[in-house]
Structure 1
Amino acid sequence: MITIKKISKFIKSLYNECKQRGFYYFFMIYFSNFFAILRGMFYRLLYLKNIKASVFFLGQRSRFDVFNKKSKIIINKFAFIRKNATIRLDFDCELIIGEKVFINDNCNINCVKKISIGNYTKIGQNVCIYDHDHNYKAIGTDRLIKGEVVIGENVWIGSNVVILRNTKIGDNAVIAAGSIVKGDVPENSVFFNKRNNEILQF
């Protein structure tokens, strides 16, 4: 239930933010966010049978591509998807995006079985998440090897990370920028791929 105290607190926080940023920048941010909400509503209407969502934000040139009537998307409140993100779903898959999840620019999520992203998780730019591989040895049309991706709550995923099928990332984990992740990542841990820098003289 919304009380006068909550409304007063909300107005005060908006005033403080406006004072800190300056009116012009404050206005531009919320003007942009307003249209991001409208874009989210548009895709909810476009895929009415597929998307179950609360209020969420969808940035410019970001899109959902749903290719099957059985595909399901659940988006919890105040999830924020920035610019140029592509989210593709096919087959009888399920994609769950938790509350206040942040997905940065140019991210790519491909779901054919199940991907879940926990509450308050932050995903950096250019991150790719796949719950399947292509079986190049197979003959025929169905050449997908399907799995699942489970990302816990309050996870931090750096820029340019690739997350592959059958990956489980525990709560509060940090995935270093540029990592390729497959398998289990324990909670409260930092995951990174070791790299050796070499300089060849010529």
Structure 2
Amino acid sequence: MIKILTKTINTIMNDIHNRGLFITLYMNMSHFIGVLRGFLFKVIYSKNIKSTIFSLQSNSSIEIFNKSSRLYIGKFAFIRKNASIRIDFNGLLTIGDKVFINDNCTINCVKHISIGKFTKIGPNVSINDHDHNYKNHSNGHLVKGDVYIGENVWIGSNVVIVRDTFIGDNAVIAAGSVVKGKVPANSLYLNKREPIIKPFTTGEKVREIL
């Protein structure tokens, strides 16, 4: 306990030196409010959420729509602004220790999503363990799968991760990628994209170019 307190004091003093007093106070107040918001959602969904201390920044929300749904959040997970976490049916969502989730991310879980500790997720990332069953409504309106994201994974901005995806430890997912299937550990994953540029003269109609 003394080591944690000493480390906290040293961190605050370093921040004051590097950032200034006002910014340090504002930043730490924001963190404190985030922890309070996390605790509030834990109270609201007391039967569904198991966690220790985690931070849920402003305008981020957790919605749990079924008494069988479960959310496990590890120590010091940090969820920034405007993130949306939704769990339904028998969904199980696990977020490991010190996971960082950036602004505007969405996580939709109806079966199983696991995010390993120390993983960093960029802004505007979408993670879904299901698709809409547009081919056969008689078998239910959702096709469910699993999403496993390993430890210490880096996920760039605007990534979409769909059902039946396994991402190994220490993998890097390039910004803008759509991920499905297996991504080996210690690898870089990116979708190949080639720009197409067509010149045109001023006043030329678009339909004549295409």
Backbone CA RMSD of aligned residues: 1.1
Q: CA deviation at 1:19?
A: 1.1
| Paired residue total | 200
Which of 93, 98, 114 is equivalent to 1:116? 114
- In structure 2, stretches of 5+ residues that fail to align are 201-210
1:13 aligns with 2:40: no
- Give the Cα separation in 2 of the matches to 1:7 and 1:90: 39
Match of 2:78 among 80, 93, 104: 80
- Structure 2 residue corresponding to 1:131, chosen from 129, 132, 135: 129
Deviation of 1:6 (Å): 4.5
Identity of aligned residues (%): 56
Q: From the CA coordinates, give the structure whose radius of gyration is larger.
A: 2
Is 1:188 aligned to residue 186 of structure 2? Answer: yes
Give the Cα separation in 1 of the matches to 2:36 and 2:73.
15
> How far 1:140 sits from its partner (Å)?
4.5
AA partner of residue 67 (structure 1): F
Write the deviation string for residues 103-139 of structure 1: whole angstroms up to 9, x where unpaired.
Answer: 0000000000000000000000000000011110122
Gaps of 5+ in 1: none
From 43, 53, 63, give the equivalent of 1:45.
43
Q: 2 CA distance for matches of 1:156 and 1:89?
A: 23
Residue type at the aligned position of 1:196: E
TM-score of the two chains, using structure 1 as the length reference: 0.96
CA distance in 1, matches of 2:73, 2:161: 20
* Distance (whole Å) between structure 2 residues aligned to residue 135 and residue 9 of structure 1: 51
Offset of 1:10 from its aligned partner? 3.0
Q: In 2, distance between residues paired with 1:126 and 1:120?
A: 19
Rate the CA distance shift 1:173–1:125 in 2: closer, same or farther, 3 A: same
Q: Could you tell me how far apart the structure 2 residues matched to 1:105 and 1:139 are? A: 34
Which residue of structure 2 lines up, in the alignment, with residue 31 of structure 1? 29
Q: Distance in 2 between matches of 1:174 and 1:95?
A: 21
SS in 2 for 1:30: helix
Taking structure 2 as the reference length, the TM-score comes to: 0.92
Shift of 1:9: 3.5
